Chain A
Amino acid sequence: MVNVLWLQGGACSGNTMSFLDAEEPTVVELVTDFGINILWHPSIGLEIGEQVVDLMKDILSGKTKLDIFVFEGSIIQGPNGTGTMNYFAERPMMDWVKELAAVTEFTVAIGDCATWGGIPAVPPNPSESTGMQFHKKNKGGILGADYVSKGGLPVINIPGCPAHPDWVTQILVAISTGRIGDVLVDDYHRPKTFFTDFVQTGCTNVNNFAQKVDGGFGKRGGCLFYEVGCRGPMTHASCNRILWNRQSSKTRANHPCLGCTEPGFPHHDLKKGSVLKTMKHLGIFPKDVPTGQSKGLYYLRAGWEKILPTNKELTVSSK
């Protein structure tokens, strides 16, 4: 039996909604067959009022063992560091978070808000939101760069806006089946098993990317990197390997990847010209280039590919 407490701060509940769409296993199977005991959750928890406060006190005193503390939503510190813009059970949520993080075996941050602040932390950040152990790309957050849970790990970050249900359920199953040792995390504390490949891995338009064939809204075929801001080549996530809602992914539906599993989403903080558009130098060169390549080398390589003839057979599309 693995005890899970799931709380929400500055959240939209999108990660919970995504979680409820889980398929293998379903949320019900997680509980009935994988020994996940959800102590409380804002939308699927049974306890009410005083019972929740009692439960949290029991956890803090050690009477109830907390194996996994899941947090969804930003940690709201406003105004002026008081955290009173987000009360929970009569106290700033921020205070509950710090105390619970000190007693749990493992801490899991789900979604961009909990991992690095997400949209609420976009300047001017009216609620003084931050993430559990990162603020945007920088280590820190509410728990600090040096935090490790009792189980010896930093906050396990499962980013995404929202996170894919599988990324959440598989990590819960890994912990409940004693495979936490296999969960390796990268520099941003993301489980490598989901966040090593790029969104471009498995994208159905990868031939168009290679041959520099432009796509656009309302069109079939073509790559969205060049004009409408797709971030597939610089975003670590398995969206095109583990499909969404069993059916599709953003890029498969001709929707540019927004880069939501990377710290800093929404990238460029929504500044004019950055939303659903490729930002460019001199109107030609994309400001953001595929991860792992220098800009100069990318421009050189892409320039050649652009002037070489296209293999049309590889880029044909049909209704």
Chain B
Amino acid sequence: MATKELNISPVGRVEGDLDVKVFMEDGVVTRAHTQAAMFRGFERIMAGKDPQSGLIVTPRICGICGGSHLYCASSALDTAWGTKLSPNALLLRAIGQATETIQSIPRWFYAIFATDMANKKFASKPLYQEVVKRFAAYTGTSFQSGVTASGRPVEVYALFGGQWPHSSYMVPGGVMCAPTLKDITRAHAIMNQFRNDWLETTWLGCSIDRYLQIKSWDDLMAWVDENESQRNSDLGLFIRASLEFGLDKFGQGVGKYVAYGTYLHKDRYNTPTVDSRNQALINPSGFFDGKNYHTFDHQQIFEHVDHSWFEHQDPAHPWNEPLPTPVVSQNLENSDFNGKYSWSKAPRYMGYAAEAGPLSRVIMNANPNNMDHQIQDPLFGDIIQKLGPSVFTRTLARVHEAPRLYNYIDEWLSQIRLDDEFYIKPEEKDGKGFGATEAARGALAHWIELEGGVIKNYQVVAPTTWNVGPNDAEGKSGPIEAALEGTEIEDPHDPVEVGMVARSFDSCLVCTVHAHDQKSGKELAKFKL
């Protein structure tokens, strides 16, 4: 054993590099800048290429959200080509999206988030010992079972897509696969094991049905105290420890939320168009400004590059954006935050920075105008009023989705009709398309323009773009930048609070935090989180 206390421990936001510069005064963050530190240029690679390139290329943008990219890429072509989609095709795509997302819940919670709760910062708290026993990396009693359980749902993805990650089984006009009886029965059985091995036993300590009766913050608190099983489940412990550790007290953010929604209903999107998408969603879309809900309209999205390492353009809707032309970048030490400082663009909705992610999704679920076929769940409408956004709220939103997703996957599997169509061959043509979904970590969309039988323009706006994007043209902060402001950092040499804020967004980048003293400008410490 060569070095430090290392061995191995999951931290991480997998993939890419994100640097964060934090300015502090008296231990409180006064200003923060996020810097994405890697450029590959996927949109530029697809220009001039085969119209279906996005089906192969875009899942490889992100190994964690590959199925989500595929959902978008196939939908973008569906709208551009005017395909027909059978109920089976819509069901199998929704199952792919849902299994990828439910996989991510235990994997993210145990491997990325909860190990921070075992940080020495919380050592004086009464629940600390129990948290360490359960959530410590590798040695925690729930750690290995949770990480192992996370591999089960994507076995279902593999039954229909061949493998996870990086399948291309969703294609314009439907899906490649034509499952057989044994694929369906096996999928039911795998999900059932996931429920027995982790979801109801380790995680909830009660049945899915009991958990889904919770409608308000008070209900949730009553659920925790209802019996020992729920109180001592991993969810029960997470809630009690979060409140004891004060995770509900920091990481507020911009207070505005965007969700594109997902899971197109099997009977409501058989003729895919951009305009009919909102009505067809099971998990609804929307924009919540902190008080009011607004109907989602993709035309309200503009990307800014004033602080991004791309040639200047005025803020533009993705269909009107040029392909990105990179300019010379700097490392964090040499960056000028009045100028360009990140490889991420800064997307804005109706001009506002907005948070994407599970919290945005569950807020949309509380919209009183949701239709009968859409999720109607008032819980986070209540929580956002009573507690507001925080590291805790964001994490609770993430894990809250697991029981409902389980039920949907089971229902959708049972609705597949083995004698019906899975694929209707489309006719290729030029035009514009838009495909969107909710990746595990939030709103994801692709915009495509086809001309002369090849891709003319392809634009991807990922949830991490929404969350880690830099300042916009008016100098307003991105969501993580804003969420870091006001955070108290107890030990500047171990700024776990900064890590927890960044992680609560599940940004899919490795973060380097450079803590600077506001007065002297002297660098206190650099941290790879």
Contact = CB atoms under 8 A, between A and B. Distances in A.
Contacts of B6: 37, 39-40, 45-47, 55
Given A119-B45, A217-B176, A44 B12 contact: yes
A250 to B, nearest CB: 4
A285 interface: no
A139 interface: no
Interface stretch (A18-26, A98-106, A150-158, A171-179): A18-26
A271 B178 CA distance: 28
Interface stretch (A122-130, A189-197, A292-300, A301-309): A122-130
Contacts of A21: 151, 154, 164
A248 to B, nearest CB: 5
B45 A122 contact: yes
Task: Name which of B7, B15, B168, B186 has the most chain A CB atoms within 10 A of its CB.
Answer: B15
A241 to B, nearest CB: 14
B378 interface: no
A38 B41 CA distance: 31
A39 B2 contact: yes
Given A126-B44, A248-B158, A258-B56, A14 B66 contact: yes
A126 B329 contact: no
A147 interface: no
Contact residues of A: prevailing secondary structure: loop
A16 B510 contact: no
Interface stretch (B47-55, B220-228, B268-276, B465-473): B47-55
Interface stretch (A88-96, A180-188, A206-214): A88-96
A205 interface: no
Chain B interface size, as a band, is 35 or more
Contacts of A78: 39, 326
A32 to B, nearest CB: 7
B14 A42 contact: yes
A45 B4 CA distance: 12
Interface residues of A, number: 98
Contact of B8 (A46, A91, A246): A46
A10 B16 CA distance: 7
Interface string A225-241: 00000000000000100
Interface of B: 1-17, 19, 37-42, 44-46, 49-53, 55-57, 60-64, 66, 89, 107, 111-112, 137-138, 143-144, 147-148, 150-151, 154-155, 157-169, 171, 173-178, 180-181, 186, 326, 328-333, 343, 418-419, 421-425, 453-454, 508, 510, 512-513, 525-529
11 contacts: A8-B510, A13-B64, A14-B62, A44-B8, A55-B6, A87-B331, A239-B163, A249-B163, A255-B161, A272-B51, A274-B50
Given A15-B63, A32-B138, A37-B7, 18 more contacts: A9-B38, A12-B63, A14-B62, A17-B63, A20-B150, A39-B2, A43-B111, A64-B2, A87-B17, A89-B528, A120-B40, A247-B155, A247-B158, A253-B158, A253-B161, A255-B161, A255-B177, A266-B56
